Chains A and B, each alone.
Chain A
């Protein structure tokens, strides 16, 4: 969340609640919506690292509101983050460990493990289908995120099939 807050602040200074609303509006139902506490915790860490600065703005009849600004160091951190290549997805490791180690435990049949995992992936895929249907069709960002998750899941399923062919 650090980077997304920096990016939002690069556009304009904002207070915590505005940042929360902006994240919800951009990502919609497709991304974990942070609670306001998480946002303030992250902001205060960013402040400690010198990446943002906070200013108290007086409001009539209300408590002061804290408005966050991006600092030059924050701007630089954001540019570095955007410019650097992003790690590819990790190979799904925990299931693979189970699969490889199963015969040693003597409890699990590999084919049964694979079948159970396949059903689980398909159930997740069904959830994604439903999520895609519930999502506002105008929210391109959310739909692309969902589609990306679907493609990863498809790759996991294809790989499961390879495991089944080679380990049977």
Chain B
């Protein structure tokens, strides 16, 4: 029997301490997190609990203070910035909490760029972009500049951009934070599809609808994991919590 494949993400006692005017701010305090290929993990926790810091470190966008990061069985925390950039281009899609779209490029170009950088043909990049923007209800905004879009639209463009390369690992920081419920539904549909295709997703979210679709929910508090487990089936009790409004029937 061949050994089981290594987890796609493995952090070992991962620590991040920011310096704030000489004062150390511990943001992530010894996180051990293993994510298997194909898993969909939601990361929840109060504001300031270290969620963004954690996913930034996993994506190589923020340097760790101590500990180790392994991606696909390879040590990653010791990589140079250019090696990280290459790794991201090949394997990782990142959706930032605050979008980070390229301001002087159209929506279409923002979404196509990562695919082109990764070596896709212009035609492949365009077809992928048309598909993603279509799924997210943005087909008619392709030629707009990011500044002309509403926050929720920019957020969906950022998600399309992150998925342009079909990354094996999607890191998403609050990808539905600015969306109304209809747009959240579009995003959920696309994420479910991505998940079904076998991509690994680690997603920071406050949105319980989004988190409830995950295979597993990791809760952070003060930079530490305080809970980590699968979202199970609801226990059916005579009066379910939501039952005052809606009775849940099997």
Contact = CB atoms under 8 A, between A and B. Distances in A.
B23 interface: no
Contacts of A92: 241
A123 B208 contact: no
Contacts of B74: none
Given A122-B217, A122-B231, A123-B234, A154 B207 contact: yes
A2 to B, nearest CB: 17
A146 B246 contact: yes
Contacts of B213: 126, 129
Interface residues of A, number: 38
Contacts of B231: 119, 122-123, 126
Interface residues of B, number: 32
B246 A145 contact: yes
B229 A149 contact: no
A127 interface: yes
A165 B212 CA distance: 21
Main secondary structure of the interface of B (DSSP, over half): loop
Contacts of A157: 208
Contact of A161 (B45, B181, B222, B245): B45
Interface stretch (A12-20, A29-37, A78-86): A29-37
A161 B51 CA distance: 14
Given A125-B208, A127-B248, A147 B181 contact: yes
B235 A120 contact: yes
B216 to A, nearest CB: 11
A31 B213 CA distance: 23
A164 interface: yes
Main secondary structure of the interface of A (DSSP, over half): helix
A129 B248 contact: no
A73 interface: no
A149 B209 contact: no
B219 A124 contact: no
A153 to B, nearest CB: 6
B21 interface: no
Nearest to B246: A149
Contacts of A146: 246
Nearest to A151: B181
Interface of B: 44-46, 181, 206-209, 211-213, 217, 219, 221-222, 226-227, 229, 231-235, 240-242, 244-249
Q: Across chains A and B, which 4 residue pairs bring their CB atoms closest together, nearest first?
A: A125-B212, A115-B227, A123-B234, A126-B212
7 contacts: A118-B227, A119-B229, A122-B217, A126-B213, A128-B242, A147-B181, A164-B46
Given A122-B211, A124-B241, A126-B212, 8 more contacts: A30-B246, A31-B246, A123-B233, A124-B248, A128-B248, A148-B245, A152-B242, A168-B222
